[in-house]
Structures are given as structure tokens and as C-alpha cells.
Amino acid sequence: MTGRIIKALVATTLVAAHTIAVQASPAAGGTVAITATATHEGDPPAAIAVDAAAKAFGLRGFTILNDPAHAAYVAEVVATRAAVGTAVVQGRSGQALPTGGGVSIPISKGKSVLVPLQRTRVEIRIRRRGEQAVLWHGAAVTVRSTGALNGGVDQVAFALSQAALSSYPTQTAGEISVP
């Protein structure tokens, strides 16, 4: 009698644990609507963050829908950017170095120049449509010179979105650093 009760309890526990795991884990694909939170001055534009995340989700097998009311999942993208200092670089063949705000500084070949560095971070949170509980989240960060060849806002947003989703559906403990 006691053996049957224990077996029944173990079976019930295993079924309950499997049900909870299925409910808590996000799908490997399906439909997703991507939204962006309001940005602060200097942060990447929301449209760029959404486009970059959409490309990264598409590569992961998701179908992107524009309407959050019809997608199975809603992904919230938060992109932030902040100045974090400067770096010394060697000048390149007399080209102008863009510094932002429409100002360019001409640099001469072989001369050391100070360039501004920006820390950019992208965080992605996935929820089921209509629910507030976060099923999965991932984040990635990089620090790059504003004049770097791979430092364009759209390039950085896409690289960070891909990195943030690289462990999906496994949850990572912290943010992923991208060189």
C-alpha cells in the first residue's frame, strides 16, 4: 500500500515538473512581435534596434509579425548607448574622423589621435502575448570607437542582438561581451 502511494506521488511530481518546464520555456520558433522601449537622448533609435532584433530573430527561425496582438510572443528590445571615455589611435591616410554632430576632425597619417568610445548595450526580453512574466532574457554589450569601421549604429545593434540571442533558449547568467 505504501509503495503504491509513493509511486503515485513520484509519478504526479514528474508530470507536474514536466508541465511546469514546458510552460516556462520559450519555443524554438514561432511568431514574435518586436517592440522597443522609449530611448533616452543618445541611445540608438528604436527603429534601428527593432530592425536589428528582427533580423536576429529571423535567423533563429521566428516569423516576425508587426502586431503584438497576433504574435505568440512579444520581444521587448532595450538599447542604450553612453560615452565611456577616449582611446588613442594612429591616424589613417589623411581621412577625416567623424566625431558626431556633423563635425569631422581631419587626421594625418601616423599621428596619434584621441577618439571617443561608446558603450552600447542591447537587452531582449521575451514574453508570451498578453502576459507580464518574462520567459527568457538576454543581453550583450560592446565598447567601440564612434569612428570604427564596424561602429555604425545599425551594425552594432545587429551584432549585439545576435549575441544576446546566441544562447537562446538557454538562459545566461549575465550579459555577453562583444569585441
In a domain, residue 112? The reply is yes
Share of the chain above pLDDT 90, in %: 51
Contact 117, 145 (CB under 8 A): yes
pLDDT in tens, 94-134: 555 555 555 555 555 668 888 899 999 999 999 999 999 99
Closest CA relative to residue 145, chosen from 107, 106, 113, 110: 113
pLDDT in tens, 23-55: 456 677 899 999 998 677 767 788 999 999 999
Q: What is the pLDDT of residue 101?
A: 53
3-state SS record for 137-170: EEEEEEEEECCCCCCCHHHHHHHHHHHHHCCCCC
In a domain, residue 103? The reply is yes
Closest CA relative to residue 80, chosen from 136, 164, 173, 166: 164
In a domain, residue 137? The reply is yes
**Cell reading at 158:** 545587429
Is the model's pLDDT at 15 over the cut of 50? no
Place of cell 512579444: 74
Is the model's pLDDT at 13 over the cut of 90? no
In a domain, residue 15? The reply is no
State the CATH number of the domain containing residue 89: 3.30.160
Q: What is the pLDDT of residue 177?
A: 94
Closest CA relative to residue 43, chosen from 119, 140, 115, 151: 119
| 60 phi-psi bin (left φ>0, alpha ψ -120 to 50, beta other) | alpha
In a domain, residue 33? The reply is yes
In a domain, residue 127? The reply is yes
* Dist. CA 97–CA 25, nearest whole Å: 46
Count the domains in the chain.
1
Domain of 101 in residue numbering reads as: 28-177
pLDDT in tens, 61-72: 999 999 999 999
Between residues 91 and 117, the one the model is more confident about: 117
